[in-house]
Structure 1
Amino acid sequence: MRSEEEWAALTKGLLKAEMTRRGITYDQLTEKLAAIGVHDTAVNIRNKVARGKFTAVFMIQCLSAIGCKSLRMEDD
């Protein structure tokens, strides 16, 4: 059974991996989010991701903004 911290680390890792895969920085993510109507600063976004405790809505917004069409939760 995973702890709350382990779930947060998995969530953070998934989003960061997708950003890395696409070469997206936090500044670029901020711009891409703004383009879909989500306004926040790069610092706030970086802090949310670092904590790993953000809403599912925020995660989907980020994934959509960076062009992620599918997500692999864990390696088999």
Structure 2
Amino acid sequence: MEKPPHKQGRLTAGPYGQWEEEAKRLIEEEMMRRGIRYKQLSRMLEQLGIYESPDQLNRKINRKRFSAAFLIACLRVMGAETIALHQFKQGQYIE
């Protein structure tokens, strides 16, 4: 019997698991590179009309459950002009 389509809820590994991890990594690396903490990111996002507390940002990013729009807004507000996408092979990064 075929597996039912994905139910609403958290994808743990599934087809998007590696991409969720990559998105989280992009935000965290940019934050580390620029010495930005969640409180600062929260204030920076307010300039774009995005109001989330530092705790909300921390949870959202660590859960790896956010939209592409949120990812782009975070990277843009931190001043990222380019991003490096690493290749995956069976759930492993290839650098």
Higher strand share: 2
Structure 1 unaligned blocks of 5 or more: none
TM-score, with normalisation over the residues of structure 1? 0.87
Aligned residues: 75
Q: Name which structure has the greater RCO, CA cutoff 8 Å, separation 6+.
A: 1
Identity among equivalent positions (%) equals: 31
Map Cα deviations across residues 13-71 of structure 1 (whole Å, 9 max, x no partner): 11100111111100000000001211111111111100112100000110111111111
When Rg is computed on C-alpha atoms for both structures, the one with the higher figure is 2
Structural RMSD (CA): 1.6
Correspondences of 1:1-76 after superposition (within 5 Å): 3-74=15-86, 76=95
CA distance in 1, matches of 2:73, 2:22: 18
Structure 2 unaligned blocks of 5 or more: 1-13, 87-93
TM-score, with normalisation over the residues of structure 2? 0.71
